[in-house]
């Protein structure tokens, strides 16, 4: 199994540019999560989907952030326009809750390191 | 505000020592308490998890101790090794599959 796939792994952009991060969850998983990790704020949940439908986007910081999941195997997180304070590592994770004896394990991708200059 | 408080921020132990990381929560609706391990440049990965109906769970060298009345839980790493050097996150969730993470503890095991 390839695990959760994220692209790009690194992104450097200039303030004001649009940034699109991509995620392919593990096949068969019906939940997908987007997290942001920074030294100051730790690991924050931005939004999550169930069966391609957004369930909770209360963690999305501003209207500049948007996320979509057009099908079960693909999701995007878009920042438009980007700002230096958006610099962080963005993780995508997926799971099937209740699998494997109720472990509710979330499987994380390798992350995208975003730098906004 | 759902929140999980984790301490210490960082920890250095000698090889073979027993690092202990502590977490506390307020929301009594939380019913699942996992610990995640993260190595530099990687995503977090589930290490061990517990539900509030038990007070302790062991998996290999890793043990979770859970105190429901105090709303606290902790991770113990027995016979710690340099390969255990990583960042450890506690987390909690209520029914709904949404995790709230602690701030993380950077562990260094000196050889």
Interface of A with B (CB under 8 A): 4, 31, 33, 42-45, 48, 50, 56, 91, 93, 95, 97, 102-111
Measure CA of the first residue to CA of the last residue in chain A; give whole Å.
36
The span from the CA of A6 to the CA of A77, in Å, is 11
Rounded Cα–Cα distance for residues B14 and B109 (Å): 6
Q: Is the pLDDT of residue A84 over 60?
A: yes
Question: pLDDT class for A103, splitting at 50, 70, 90?
Answer: low
Point out the residue among A95, A103, A108 whose CB comes nearest to the CB of B45.
A108
Report whether pLDDT(A2) > 90. Answer: no
Mean pLDDT of B89-93: 95
Query: How far B101 CA sits from the closest chain A CA (Å)?
Result: 6
Model confidence band, residue A86 (pLDDT cutoffs 50, 70, 90): very high
Residue labelled with tokens 């390191």: A113
- Taking only the tens place, the pLDDT of each residue in A36-48 is 999 988 999 999 9
pLDDT of residue B2: 54
Average of per-residue pLDDT across B70-77: 97
Per-residue pLDDT tens for B16-52? 999 999 999 999 999 899 999 999 999 999 999 999 8
Q: Which of B37, B99, B104 to mutate to test the interface with A (most CBs of A within 10 A)?
A: B99
Question: For residue A86, what is the DSSP state?
Answer: G
Q: B66 and chain A: CB distance < 8 Å anywhere?
A: no
Percentage of the residues of chain B whose pLDDT score is greater than 70: 98
Check if the beta carbon of residue B73 is closer than 8 Å to that of residue B7. Answer: no
Strand, coil or helix: A102: helix
Residue B46 in contact with partner chain A when CB distance is under 8 A? yes
Q: Which of A26-35, A66-75, A94-103, B11-20 has the lowest mean pLDDT?
A: A94-103
């Amino acid at each position: 199994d390839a695990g959760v796939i994220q692209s790009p792994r690194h992104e450097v952009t200039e303030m004001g540019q649009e940034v699109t991060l991509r995620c392919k969850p593990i096949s068969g998983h019906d939940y997908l999560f987007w997290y942001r990790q920074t030294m100051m704020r730790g690991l924050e949940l931005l939004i999550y989907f169930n069966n391609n439908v957004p369930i909770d986007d209360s963690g999305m910081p501003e209207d500049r952030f948007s996320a979509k999941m057009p099908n079960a195997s693909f999701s995007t997180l878009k920042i438009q326009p980007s700002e230096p304070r958006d610099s962080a590592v963005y993780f995508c994770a997926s799971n099937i809750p209740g699998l494997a004896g109720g472990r509710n394990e979330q499987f994380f991708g390798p992350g995208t390191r975003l730098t906004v200059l | 505000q759902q929140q999980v408080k984790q301490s210490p921020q960082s920890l250095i132990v000698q090889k073979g020592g027993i690092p202990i990381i502590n977490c506390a929560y307020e929301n009594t609706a939380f019913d699942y308490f996992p610990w995640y391990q993260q190595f530099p440049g990687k995503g977090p990965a589930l290490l061990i998890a517990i539900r509030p109906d038990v007070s302790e769970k062991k998996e290999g060298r890793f043990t979770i101790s859970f105190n429901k009345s105090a709303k606290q839980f902790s991770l113990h790493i027995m016979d710690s090794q340099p390969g255990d050097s990583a960042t450890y996150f506690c987390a909690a969730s209520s029914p709904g599959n949404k995790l709230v993470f602690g701030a993380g503890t950077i562990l260094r095991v000196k050889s």
